[in-house]
A = this chain, B = another copy of it.
Amino acid sequence: GTVSSAGDDLIINTKGNLSVKTADNSKSFAIGGRLQWDYDATESKDNEKKTDDFDVRRARIYVKGHVNDWGYKAQFNVAESDGAKGGSAEDLYINYSGFGSAANIKVGKQSEPFGLESTTSSKDISALERSALTEFYAPSRAAGVQLHGKGSNWTYGVGLFESDGDGSNDVEHTALTGRVTFAALHTEQALLHVGASFSSRDAEESADEVDSYGLEFGAAFGPLHLQSEYFASEIGSQDYDGYYLQAGWIITGESRPYKNGVFSRVKPKGPLGAWELVARYEDGDGKYSDIGLESEQRYNGKQYTVGLNYYATKNTRLGLSYMDGEADNAESGGTRFAGNELRGRFQFAF
């Protein structure tokens, strides 16, 4: 049978997801999501603790759309997964674009603008898990209001957020967080990206107040990419810092895509998919929880990661990574821990 619209001309698309927009792009609706199933095995050399698990890492569905200058996104967890309850929201915001792309306003639960690895989607990061440094210094999603914008080779975002991050309490203690990025060079074959972030987080006790800074660098040359971030934080009167350095090589020759200040997922050129090798080295104060150390405590450590990714289609990623690290517990008198993790992932993003 025929398919027509009762109103404006429509353009429909499916790439595993579904998107519908009017031909004049005045209105849109899309639904999609991501599924990540992980096997991971950790081994802590000092306390002889071994774990292994096969579990949902992320299972999310989103709907998003816009009408004229107003848009929204609601992304929620459909299963209990690592770090998230089922029936909870990730993104949940309303966006106003009436001042143009250089100055949007986003209201609601959203990623705070801080860091390169943190703002890159979990579908698109090169190693399966973010670095222990990003986990420690970068705030996660929070309820707030952000002014953000972009130009041909720059982006910025600055916002006021609930500093406890759980969006459930009051607004007495807020965080001011911001990030700017600049792509000095961005052609199909080459990229040179720099950025800087800050977050100043108020708290009930002055010992819990946080001031964090981040510097980021990204580059791509054909199938190679480099990515590095340096972070420093003052929590109360304690100082912390650290950095990571990451390199990737897409064996099958694709370039790692980049857009609006973040990297995105490798898109295979051929029907046989794309293969990627990635390596990362981290050094500094961080949250070394992936290798089995307590996530509630702060460590000064070192960690390296090697990974192999297979992008079967634009939607499908199979990944394998190995992390090995050692760290001193900065709070309990320097007890040394060492651990490693082997992780495998099946991912479908739609």
- A16 and B1 in contact, given A72-B350, A86-B89, A143-B54 (Cβ under 8 angstroms): no
A77: chain B residues at CB < 8 Å are 87
- A56 and B89 in contact, given A2-B10, A33-B63, A51-B170 (Cβ under 8 angstroms): yes
A70: chain B residues at CB < 8 Å are 312-313, 315-316, 348
Number of copies: 3
A65 to B316, CA, bound (A): 12
A6: chain B residues at CB < 8 Å are 1, 11-13
Q: Give me 20 A-to-B residue pairs in the complex whose CB atoms sit less than 8 angstroms apart, sorted by A's number.
A: A4-B10, A10-B12, A14-B22, A16-B72, A33-B74, A35-B74, A53-B170, A54-B167, A61-B63, A67-B315, A68-B313, A69-B313, A70-B312, A70-B316, A72-B348, A76-B79, A76-B87, A79-B89, A86-B86, A94-B347
Taking A51-B170, A86-B88 as known contacts, 16 extra A-B pairs with beta carbons closer than 8 A to each other, sorted by chain A number, are: A1-B4, A2-B5, A14-B28, A17-B65, A18-B20, A31-B31, A33-B63, A52-B172, A54-B143, A55-B167, A61-B63, A67-B315, A67-B350, A70-B316, A85-B86, A85-B87
A67 to B94, CA, bound (A): 30
